[in-house]
């Protein structure tokens, strides 16, 4: 990885669209001494995103970006990232697909968390598909983001057993609890060299 840890932590932006429970876990992790990152900016496409409250609670700058025009939206985001000297982007439940052009500006510096054992179940409704296919395990993956959806190199995965009694909701809950541990672990892993 190109980034290195100096005396300062790696300035990170987290992109969210909803609840922001992964954002919360990343903020908590960032406060630890051993964390290589600090969270300096929260970006959302959704002004109603519940996760925005963590920006208020932890005094982190928030930016709401209207995605009606993706090209303009991405230009605005890039400007914000530059202004805040952001070096790493963590997507955490961000429901917009970033363009190739945008990603080019941050090659190898955008991470995502996905609620399946990639390469299985890219895209949406991962838990429903895992249950319908009678899979024995589901789980979550943290991966680098490239131009293809949910297809960049995997950093870490965590398996979760699917029980007979599991519903989409109960499985989502179990996987989410693991996501909260896996994202910080994956970040530690890529910066531990």
- When asked if residue 46 is in the footprint of ligand GRF (CB under 6 A), the reply is no
Could you tell me which of 153, 167, 171, 44 has the C-alpha nearest to residue 116?
Answer: 171
- When asked if residue 51 is in the footprint of ligand GRF (CB under 6 A), the reply is yes
Q: Is there a catalytic annotation at residue 127?
A: no
- When asked if residue 63 is in the footprint of ligand GRF (CB under 6 A), the reply is no
**Conformational region of residue 150, where left means phi above 0, alpha means psi within -120 to 50, and beta covers everything else:** left
- When asked if residue 176 is in the footprint of ligand GRF (CB under 6 A), the reply is yes
- When asked if residue 139 is in the footprint of ligand GRF (CB under 6 A), the reply is no
Least distance between ligand GRF and beta carbon 51 (Å): 6
Using CA atoms, how far apart are residues 81 and 133, in angstroms rounded to an integer?
Answer: 41
Using CA atoms, how far apart are residues 150 and 106, in angstroms rounded to an integer?
Answer: 16
Using CA atoms, how far apart are residues 156 and 139, in angstroms rounded to an integer?
Answer: 11
The gap between the terminal CA atoms of the chain, to the nearest Å, is: 8
Identify the residue among 9, 13, 20, 37 touching ligand GRF (CB under 6 A): 20
- When asked if residue 21 is in the footprint of ligand GRF (CB under 6 A), the reply is yes
Using CA atoms, how far apart are residues 187 and 166, in angstroms rounded to an integer?
Answer: 30
Tokens of 145: 């983001």
Nearest residue (CB) to ligand GRF, 74 versus 150: 150
- When asked if residue 150 is in the footprint of ligand GRF (CB under 6 A), the reply is no
Binding mask 86-105 for ligand GRF (x = CB under 6 A): ------xx------------
Which chain residues interact with ligand GRF by CB under 6 A?
Answer: 16, 18-22, 51, 92-93, 113-115, 176, 179
């Amino acid at each position: 990885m190109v980034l290195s840890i100096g005396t300062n932590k790696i300035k990170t932006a987290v992109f969210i669209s909803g609840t922001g429970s992964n954002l919360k876990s990343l903020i908590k992790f960032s406060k630890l001494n051993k964390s290589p990152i600090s969270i300096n900016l929260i970006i959302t496409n959704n002004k109603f995103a519940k996760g925005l409250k963590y920006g208020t609670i932890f005094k982190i700058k928030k930016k709401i970006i209207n995605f009606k025009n993706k090209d303009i939206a991405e230009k605005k985001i890039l400007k914000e990232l530059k202004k805040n000297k952001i070096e790493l982007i963590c997507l955490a439940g961000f429901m917009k697909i970033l363009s190739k052009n945008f990603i080019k500006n941050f090659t190898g510096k955008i991470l995502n968390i996905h609620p399946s054992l990639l390469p299985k179940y890219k895209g949406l409704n991962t838990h429903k598909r895992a249950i319908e296919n009678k899979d024995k395990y589901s789980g979550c993956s943290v991966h680098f983001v490239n131009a293809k959806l949910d297809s960049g190199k995997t950093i870490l995965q965590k398996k979760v057993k699917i029980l007979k009694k599991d519903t989409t909701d109960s499985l989502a809950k179990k996987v989410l609890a693991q996501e909260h541990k896996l994202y910080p672990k994956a970040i530690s892993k890529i910066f531990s060299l």
